[in-house]
Amino acid sequence: MIKAGIVGITGYVGEELARILVQHHQVEIKTITSKSYAEQKYNDIYNNFNGIFQATCEEEDLEKMANDLDVIFLALPHGIASKKINKNILDKVKVIDLGADYRLNDKDIYEQWYQTEHCSSELLGEAVYGLSEIKREDIKHSRLVANPGCYTTCSILSLYPLLKEDLISRNSIIIDAKSGVSGAGRALNIGTHYTECNESLKAYKLLSHRHTPEIEQELSIAAGEDISLVFTPHLIPMNRGLLTTSYAILNQDISYNDILDVYKKYYEKEFFVRIAKEGIHPETRWVKGSNFFDVGFTIDERTGRIIIIGCIDNLIKGAAGQAVQNMNIMFELDEKLGISHVPIFPA
């Protein structure tokens, strides 16, 4: 059994991690920590765990956890993990960081976009970007995985095959993204109060969303050269789910079936990637509660553009589910363990 600990278990992502790992027959959750709910029973905080998982939240002690556990999941806001993780801890335990501190390769870019100091930049070269379908071989041998953000997971998987095959103009990309309110986290925020966001749709953080450099970094690696793109996120008045609509100019006159073959080349053997049939456009309701990424595309022959639709559950494939997928890879388990359930509907 893999002995696991979750730091920051009382946020939405931490709760999803607990829900998945409680049902994972190769994992035992040994330690859970929460700064706000120390000494409280977890099933008193989240009553959906009543009679299922009754552990008590502890004060965080990473050194002790590193000595006692096989893997630590950090479900913390940005700017915290880099102050806590060091080579001594990594010599003892594998770490999967669900925050942003190890996703960007460049310390200066991180500090520019996140407006905080990175305190363990010596680990940036070691950390593996944990997009499972693309970085699998590196993840297998890693002891520090940077779990991707939700917007980035959907955006990168949508566009990666097209850039790898040089099928789209690299500086023509526009990503229009929409996420449910759970993506903003559990902390109180006036913008996510029911009466502030219900019956409304808004764009936010135009030209300044912190997932932008993450998307550009990984797609630049795919393209083999630096690219820049336009990324605009929107808040949708629903609990969970994320959909991206990406636009790009095609480099050549190419048929639907030719592009379909490209997507199949990269994803046909990927259990968690589902390519939609022609004329069917992915919807968030078909991935809710699951670790699946659905993708479909349409060619606009009139303008020479391609439109790619991708969608995920932002809390699962966009966070906790992908973290467990990465854990399975790191420990050489069946990648689908604990996360292969069918999406829930209706929900």
Query: Which residues carry out catalysis?
Result: 150
In angstroms, the CA 91 to CA 291 distance is: 30
Query: In the beta sheet, which residues pair with residue 5?
Result: 31, 72
User: Cβ distance 341 to 19 under 8 Å?
Assistant: no
In angstroms, the CA 231 to CA 218 distance is: 14
In angstroms, the CA 182 to CA 221 distance is: 30
Q: Residue 217 has which token pair? A: 């970094």
- The length of the chain in residues reads 347
Kindly state the DSSP code that residue 168 receives in the 8-state scheme.
B
Angle of CA points 83, 86, 88, to nearest 5°: 145
Q: ω before 213 within 30° of 0 (cis)? A: no
Quickly list DSSP for 48-65. Answer: GGTTT---B-B---HHHH
Secondary-structure percent of the chain, ordered helix, strand, coil, rounded to 5: 35, 20, 45
Other residues' Cβ atoms within 10 Å of the Cβ of residue 303: 11
In angstroms, the CA 287 to CA 341 distance is: 10
Q: Residue 320 has which token pair? A: 């906790």
User: Cβ distance 199 to 185 under 8 Å?
Assistant: no
Task: Collapse the DSSP code of 70 into the 3-class scheme (helix H, G, I; strand E, B; otherwise coil) and give the result.
Answer: coil
> Of all helices (H) and strands (E), which one includes residue 30?
strand 27-33
Nearest Cα neighbor of 35 from 1, 104, 84 is 84
Other residues' Cβ atoms within 10 Å of the Cβ of residue 273: 19
